[in-house]
Amino acid sequence: MTFRWYGDTDPVKLEYIRQIPGLYGIVSAIYDIPVGEVWPLDKLQALRARIEGAGLKFEVVESVPTHEDIKLGKPTRDRLIANFQQNIRHCAAVGVKVICYNFMPVFDWTRTEMAKELPDGSFTLAFDARAVAKIDPEKGIALPGWDASYKPEQLKSLLAEYKAVNEETLWTNLEYFLKAIIPVAEGVGIKMAMHPDDPPRPIFGLPRIVKNREDLQRLVNIVDSTANGLTLCSGSLGADLCNNVEALVREFGSQGRIHFGHLRNVKVEPDGTFYESTHRSCDGSLDMAAIVKAYHDIGFEGYVRPDHGRMIWGETGKPGYGLYDRALGAVYLNGLWEAISKYSPPAH
C-alpha cells in the first residue's frame, strides 16, 4: 500500500501520512522541472532521503510526463525520448522499481467539477458528459485543469496540431516511443506502467487509445516484455460501464503486466457522467471487494494506492488529494485484503 505525495509543498504532511496503518511507501515525482527535460539525479536522491527519513519507501514514481511532441510524432521527439530514457536511468539509480506514465493527448485527466457536493456534505471530483458535449473547442475550453495548464492561445494551437492525429497515428507514435524506452527500462530493472485514459473516451476530438480491454492488450503486445506493463486504474477504466475491472485485473495480472494498481470507486450514469465516491463497494458502481479479491487471487505482489478521495471534515487543498478520505480508503482496502487473505486462499 502506497500513498501519493507532492513533495514538501504538499499541504498533506509526510509525517501524517506515515501514521496510516499498513502503509509501505510513497508515490511521488519531481515537479519543478519542465516537461521533457531530465530530472537531476541529486533532486531524486534528495526526494528519496526525505521519504526514507520519514520511515517510508520510495519505489514508485508517478509520473514521468510524456511531452506532447512525442505524442504528436514531431521531429523533436528523439531528443525528448532520450531525456525520458535518462529519467528512467536516474529513477533506477535511486531505487525506484515502477514508473507510472500516460499517453493522453494534452491532459491526463478531465473533470467538469472539482468540488461537487454530495448529500453527506463532502466534496468530490465529477465529470458531466452532457456539459462536455456542449463545449466547442474552437471557442475555448474552460474546465478545471485545462485552463490552469495552458494559456488560451497555447491550448488552441495544441488542439489544432492534434486535428491531424487520429487513433492509428497516436498508436504509431506510441509504438515508436515504447520501442525506444522499454529496452532501457529492462536494462535497469524498471517496470513501466501505462495509466489508462481518464475518462476512457474521446474528448473534444482528441484521440484516446488506452480505454478498454482491447486497447490494453494491444499496448502490452507492442513490446512483449514484462517491463511494458500497466497502471490498472479502477476509477478511470470503471468510468465506462462496459469495462469489467475485476476481469481486467485477473487477465492482465495473470500475464504479469499489472505493476501498479490505482484503487478508487466511481458512481457512473449510463451516459458516462460520473463522480468519485468513497472507496466502498456500496457507494459506487464498482465492486471494490471483488476487485481486491481479484488482485489477491492472482497472487499480486505489486504496488497499489488509494487513488483519489473526497474532501471531508473541512479539509482544503488539492482536490482529490486530501489526507483524510484517502487514509480511510487505504485502511478500507487493507481491511479487505486482510479479510480475503485470512479466509480465502489464493485461487492459483
User: How confident is the model at residue 348, as a pLDDT?
Assistant: 55
* CATH number of the CATH domain containing 228: 3.20.20.150
Q: What is the grid cell recorded at 193?
A: 506502467
Q: What is the mean pLDDT of residues 189-207?
A: 95
Average pLDDT taken over every residue of the chain = 95
Does residue 348 form part of some domain? no
Query: Does 325 have pLDDT greater than 70?
Result: yes
Separation CA 147–CA 344 (nearest Å): 48
Catalytic site includes residue 259:
no
pTM of the model: 0.96
Does residue 125 form part of some domain? yes
Q: Which percentage of the chain shows pLDDT scores above 90?
A: 88
Separation CA 176–CA 160 (nearest Å): 22
User: How confident is the model at residue 205, as a pLDDT?
Assistant: 86
Catalytic residue among 101, 233, 287, 296: 233
Q: What is the DSSP string of 317-337?
A: SSTT--SHHHHHHHHHHHHHH
User: How confident is the model at residue 142, as a pLDDT?
Assistant: 74
Element (H, E) at 28: strand 25-28
Q: Which of 151-160, 225-234, 252-261 has the lowest mean pLDDT?
A: 151-160
pLDDT digits (tens, 9 = 90+) for 82-104: 999 999 999 999 999 999 999 99
Q: What is the mean pLDDT of residues 62-75?
A: 97
Catalytic residue among 262, 297, 325, 332: 262
- Taking alpha carbons only, the member of 33, 30, 36, 24 closest to residue 8 is 30
Catalytic residue among 197, 240, 307, 325: 307
Q: Are the C-beta atoms of residues 235 and 215 closer than 8 Å to each other?
A: no
Q: Domain tally for the chain?
A: 1
Write out the residue range of the structural domain in which residue 8 sits.
2-343
Q: What is the mean pLDDT of residues 246-251?
A: 98
Query: Does 280 have pLDDT greater than 70?
Result: yes
Give the confidence band of 141 by pLDDT, cuts at 50, 70, 90.
confident
Does residue 11 form part of some domain? yes
Separation CA 116–CA 99 (nearest Å): 31
Catalytic site includes residue 67:
no
Catalytic site includes residue 195:
yes
DSSP-derived secondary structure letter, 139: G
Does residue 72 form part of some domain? yes
- Taking alpha carbons only, the member of 277, 283, 268, 289 closest to residue 332 is 289
Catalytic site includes residue 233:
yes
Catalytic site includes residue 90:
no
Q: Which percentage of the chain shows pLDDT scores above 70?
A: 97
- Taking alpha carbons only, the member of 205, 203, 204, 183 closest to residue 192 is 183
